[in-house]
Amino acid sequence: MAYYIGKMTDLGFTEAVEKLTEELQKEGFGVITEINIQETLKKKLDLDFRPYIILGACNPHYAHQAIELDDKIGALLPCNFIVQESGDGTEVFAINPRETMGKLLGDEIKEISEAITTKVQNVLDRM
């Protein structure tokens, strides 16, 4: 399995970011960080880059459970979601918690990573 999961969508870039934020809320996630790569590269390096945004999403219930089991897991939080324009439309991708958390850490975290992966996949399925 890949370290990410995702899909193409027919939505435009801005519409995809808005829809992603809505769908994350339905699964108990809140967007706690937003990094606009296009703006950052223009500002810092004077580079023109395609629309590309990273949304850091957190489900407080699962984050708390994971941190109680392993206080270093914060290095893998929040769950990052990417929306980017591509030649074929708009791509929406997310970190794959099953691969990143579940394989790196113990069995207790594996159960949480499976639950989070299901929620992430639910979000992506509705995009």
Q: If pLDDT is split at 50, 70 and 90, which confidence band does 109 have?
A: confident
- Report the Cα–Cα distance between both ends of the chain, in Å, rounded: 21
Query: Is residue 88 predicted with pLDDT exceeding 90?
Result: no
- Report whether 36 contacts 55 (CB < 8 A): no
| Domain limits for position 121 | 4-125
In angstroms, the CA 16 to CA 45 distance is: 26
Query: Is residue 9 predicted with pLDDT exceeding 90?
Result: yes
What are the tokens at 8? 């193409």
In angstroms, the CA 49 to CA 82 distance is: 15
Q: If pLDDT is split at 50, 70 and 90, which confidence band does 100 have?
A: confident
**pTM given for the model:** 0.92
Q: If pLDDT is split at 50, 70 and 90, which confidence band does 54 have?
A: very high
Q: If pLDDT is split at 50, 70 and 90, which confidence band does 33 have?
A: very high
Residues 6 or more apart whose CB falls under 8 angstroms from that of 106 comprise 69, 70
Structural domain count, the chain: 1
Cα-based distances in Å from 105 to 2, 66, 99: 17, 10, 10
CATH number for position 73: 3.30.310.70
